[in-house]
Structure 1
């Protein structure tokens, strides 16, 4: 399973602020500090939004691939040329004997066609399902990275609160931004769960069809 690279947990804006704070050893005004918190939260929220949009794009692509797989299964056919079976004229067979032989060959051709369709459909289905599960795994990794960023962000906010004692209005504004970020992560998690269920259902469906064909 492919793993997504984990991006740095803090932004360049945060590193720049922290470096200036250590070097200068002078705290800026409370208004400037609050603005830094807001900018940091906005950057993290933007990163989560990018992950969510990428997930929705992949989910749409996977849905189209599943529909295409169903259409290929319905349209797959084997063109059997019956005329080849009657090109051996001059063997002394009657018309009835020819019709009977043609019917037998047609039955055999239908049987081989069904076996071919079952085998090819199963191989294609298993390939699509494995691809789907692999992409689900990638999205799970992305979701875990997002949750880890939220956790680090929450700890960072607790440290800010201890150092600067923000006002009640500032706390409510910070909590609102945090709530938006958490809601976006939960939305991605819900989509991920739906996609995983869809993959399992598709896998069971093709296994059941193969069992009935055997």
Structure 2
């Protein structure tokens, strides 16, 4: 049988041990959280840096795409211009051939 004094001493003693363990546990948790926090901060900074680099790369690629698109448009216009010039030259050649045939026919009929 335990006396109330012994029970009080025992409960106080047990509680003292628990609080010491809790303080150690709380300290180790706080230290762990600081480590995790610093690791997260490093990861966050790396992510921001990588995100910034990728953003710049995307901008460069978009500019290049725009320039290439403009180049394609210019080449299309030049090709269309050359196609029109070719068609005009073919029409002129056809007209010259017709005029030549008419001239040859006129020379024959004139007896020259």
Same fold by TM-score, threshold 0.5 exceeded? Answer: yes
Q: Which residue of 1 aligns with 2:78?
A: 152
Q: Which residue of 2 aligns with 1:63?
A: none
Give the whole-Å Cα distance in 2 for the aligned partners of 1:153 and 1:104: 72
Q: Which residue of 1 aligns with 2:69?
A: 143
1:165 matched to 2:79? The reply is no
Name which of 95, 98, 102 aligns with 2:28.
102
Q: Which residue of 1 aligns with 2:97?
A: none
Give the whole-Å Cα distance in 2 for the aligned partners of 1:128 and 1:149: 31
Superposed displacement of residue 123, structure 1: 0.6
Q: Which residue of 2 aligns with 1:125?
A: 51
3-state SS in 2 of match to 1:165: helix
Q: Which residue of 2 aligns with 1:76?
A: none
CA RMSD in angstroms, aligned pairs only: 1.9
Q: Which residue of 2 aligns with 1:46?
A: none
Superposed displacement of residue 128, structure 1: 1.2
Greater relative CO (CA pairs within 8 A, separation 6+): 1
- Report the structure, 1 or 2, having the larger helix content: 2
Task: Determine which structure has more spread, i.e. the larger CA radius of gyration.
Answer: 2
Gaps of 5+ in 1: 1-93, 167-214
Give the whole-Å Cα distance in 1 for the aligned partners of 2:22 and 2:79: 84
Give the whole-Å Cα distance in 2 for the aligned partners of 1:119 and 1:154: 52
Superposition pairs for residues 86-101 of structure 1, below 5 Å? 94-101=20-27
